[in-house]
Every structure is written in C-alpha cells, then in structure tokens.
Amino acid sequence: MWRPNWWRRLRRQIPEEVLFALNRLAEAGYEAYLVGGAPRDLLLDRTPEDWDLATDARPEKVKTLFANAWPLGEKFGTVRVPFDRLEVDITTFREEGAYSDGRRPDWVNFTPSLEADLARRDFTMNAIALDPLREKLVDPFAGVQALKRRLVKTVGEPAVRFGEDALRMLRFYRFQATLGFRGDRETEKGITPGLITKVSGERIRDELTKLLVASFPKAGLEGMARSGLLPAVLPEFGAVLAEPGLFRHTVATVQAIKPATGLRWAAFLHDLGKPRTRVVQGDRLHYYGHEKVGAELAAAILERLRFPRKVAEQILALVRWHMFPADPWMTDAALRRLVARVGKENIKGLLELRRADLVGTPGVAARAFSGLTQFAARLEALLAGETVLSLRDLAVNGHEVMEFLGIQPGPRVGEVLQEIFHWVTEDPARNRKELILEYLATRGNNPD
Ligand code: ATP
Ligand code: MG
C-alpha cells in the first residue's frame, strides 16, 4: 500500500472538484478529510459512489466558503456543494448520544475531534479518514487491516452497536455481498434478529435490494440465514429454510440471474410457495401450483416493504408465471396466449428467470437449455412480427361488441371479447373488424 508514488496515484483517483473542496477548507485553516465509503473504496481500488468530507469547520462557515452550497441537513451538520459532474457533502465532525429508540441518536453534537466522529461509524472499514493533500491517513480502529483481511467488523462492541441502530445488521450482510468480504465472527455473534422490527419497510427494502443486486449475494444471504436475521426480516423464509435444498436453490437462482432489481427479487421469491404445496407421490416430491401460492406470499412481502407498484407488478408476474411451459413445439396460438397472460413487457424477464432457475438446479440436462433457447427464438420472432397480443389490441372493443350483439354491459361482454381473442390468436390475419363481426354473426347462437 505504501509504495513511493502511493499518494500521487491516490490523488489521481479523486475528481478535481473533490480536491478543490478539500483544498478550500484547508486554505481557510480547517481540517478536511474524505470519510465514509470513499476512503474504503479508494483503498480497495473501487470507484466511490459518493464523496463525503468531514471537517472541523461549522456548517455556517462551510456555507460561506462555497458560493452555491446549500444545507442538506444543517441540524446534523451537512452542507451539500454541487458541481457539474458530482456533488460533495461536507459534514462537521460530530458525536452522538445514546440511541434510546434503536434507530436514531437522542442528540448529536459538533465536536473538534475527528476520532470522535469516526467512532460513531458502523464498521471499521467505514471509519477511515483520508487527507490526500496533506497525505494523512487516520485509522483509529484498524480499518485498513480489516480491508486487507477482507473482514466486515463493527467499531466497538457489536451487540451495542446493533442495538443502537438495527439497520446496521442489514448493512453488515449487505457489505459482505457488495465487497465479497467475510463477516467478522464476533460481530456476527452480536446480531440480535428480533431488533429488526424497529426498522421501517422502506429501509429494509433498500438494503435488501442493494444486497440482492450485488456481486456476491450468496455471502450476504447465507449469513442472514445462519444468524436468523433472514426469517426475522421475512418470516416467509422460515419455511424455505426448513425445506431441504430449497434455500440453496433459491440462492443459486439469485446468483445466476442478471443483477437488476426486479429480476433479483423475482429469483429470490420465486419458490416461496413450495413448502406449502409439497405433496409426496411415490418417491417423488411435487409442488403443484406453488407459483400461484408463491405470488400471493410475495405480494404480501412487497406490500410490507412498500415497493412501488410498477416494480411489484413486474416481480409478481415473474413469480406467478415462472412455471410456464417452455415447449419449443408449442403452437403460435398458444404462444400468443402465453404472452397475453404474462404481459409483453415481462417476457424477457421470464425467460431470464427460467434460465437462472435451470442453472440453479443441480443435474439439469443440456437438452433443457437448448429447448429453452429454441423457445426463446420462437417468442422473439413472434414478438417482432406480431401485433395481436392483448385484448386491447383487438380490432373491436367492448362497445362495438355490445352494439353488434345488442347486449348490455356486464360480464358477458368480457367473455365474448375473450372468445374473440382466442379465435384471433389462432391466426392474427383475422384481426380485422369486418372479419370479427362476421365471426360473431356466424359462430352460432351462443346465448347466456
Ligand atoms: P455505499 O457504497 O453504499 O455508499 P457507504 O459506506 O458510503 O457505502 P453510506 O450509507 O453512504 O455508506 O454512509 C456513509 C458513511 O456513513 C458510512 O461509510 C459510515 O461511515 C457512516 N454510516 C452510514 N450509515 C451508518 C449507520 N447506520 N450507522 C453508523 N454509521 C453509518
Ligand atoms: Mg456512500
């Protein structure tokens, strides 16, 4: 780490706006350090997501040093300085009082002590301060050593720190997933799963999403299962963990799918319905209808975690239809009906999920993958040349059906539209108003 050109090389990794901000504070006579995720990521040769500075200058002072600074959370000492490409958050050194609610400190104070500021941070690797101009690295909790050993470890007593803020328990596993680090054993012993009820659904959602879309979700998920945090966060996973092989398969499916929010969540939840639907037939297990039960369980989870409606709908469609028959010899009509049921927008994701599901299943024959590839090719061709994919794409609407048949609004209208849809999907060339009306006239009287 300490090769001769180390500091010069380090400065080259830092955007000039950030160096400018550091220099401005230094020239005004203050201490100024990079803190939080940035020093950690720089020392790991990763690109930092955001640039946080800590200083002994008070927020009022910081505002006068940067023309377009605005208070982000002035009470907590943070001033944001926007530049064209990025923004720099500058926070006055602070220390915190007790956390009597398990979420937030009772008070925060400004302090002249950098060490006090670092001591309130969650993990040793996140408690390193770096001054790249004066070439100083401040590391009172051996964060650099933890980085070298690839360990996530709390600053101070684990149970105390998790007790102050239960969200840190999720962050403990999230960082293992994003960095591929191990969790320190003593730290994991401090996990108290029951405390997680203090954390809001939104914050659980955001941390779990970061964990799921990370490069090493397996590390985070297995740790959460081992410590009991996973079933505390999502009780539905208690049964998944009890079902032999199911959690392992779930994790393998998550790892095998592209790291996008909807896809990773769908993989995570796709077999939630299996424990409740298991039946033994001869020497085989079956899980008939587990995708439907799973979609119901998943809906409850997504609701609790306050997922936005659009993402939730995508995840639920994937869970609900992940058992679709991927038969390369399926008729065009059946293929079209599948697309109509699942939704055009979900087809790609559904194929991804099926592929990951196969990858995550031990002993799947190569034939299954080539069958899926053929099936995907047919779907793609169909989607490229096809227009009749949903009821709304039909050349007639409900009003026209009612008028033509002389019927009143009611469920019958929907049934007739379904029937027309079925007929049109047999041959998309039929999707013309006069052909459909002719079909309605000649299909034989089929009164309610
Ligand atoms: P990311 O790459 O996700 O941004 P990060 O380490 O920068 O990781 P942030 O949530 O941006 O994480 O927080 C910035 C810093 O603030 C952390 O590095 C840590 O020092 C401190 N911190 C954040 N959340 C907590 C917490 N719940 N308890 C204690 N310290 C925290
Ligand atoms: Mg950050």
The tens place of each residue's pLDDT in the chain, 448 residues long, gives: 667 799 999 999 999 999 999 999 999 999 999 999 999 999 999 999 999 999 999 999 999 999 899 988 877 899 999 999 999 999 999 998 888 887 888 888 999 999 999 999 999 999 999 999 999 999 999 999 999 999 999 999 999 999 999 999 999 999 999 999 999 999 999 999 999 999 999 999 999 999 999 999 999 999 999 999 999 999 999 999 999 999 999 999 999 999 999 999 999 999 999 999 999 999 998 999 999 999 999 999 999 999 999 999 999 999 999 999 988 888 888 888 899 889 889 999 999 999 999 999 988 888 888 889 989 988 888 888 766 567 788 899 999 999 999 999 999 998 999 899 888 877 878 889 999 999 999 876 555 4
CATH superfamily for domain 6-149: Beta Polymerase, domain 2 (3.30.460.10)
Q: Which residue has a Cα nearest atom 21 of ligand 1?
A: 121
pLDDT tens-digit readout, 75-125 = 789 999 999 999 999 999 999 888 888 788 888 899 999 999 999 999 999
Q: Determine the Cα–Cα distance for residues 60 and 386; give it in Å rounded to an integer.
A: 62
Measure 109 CA to ligand 2 centroid, in angstroms. 22
- The residues lining ligand 1, judged by C-beta closer than 6 Å to any ligand atom, are 36-37, 49-50, 52, 121-122, 126, 165, 167-168
The domain defined by 152-322 folds into cca-adding enzyme, domain 2 (1.10.3090)
- By the CB criterion, residues less than 5 angstroms from ion ligand 2 are 37, 50
Q: What is the pTM of this model?
A: 0.87
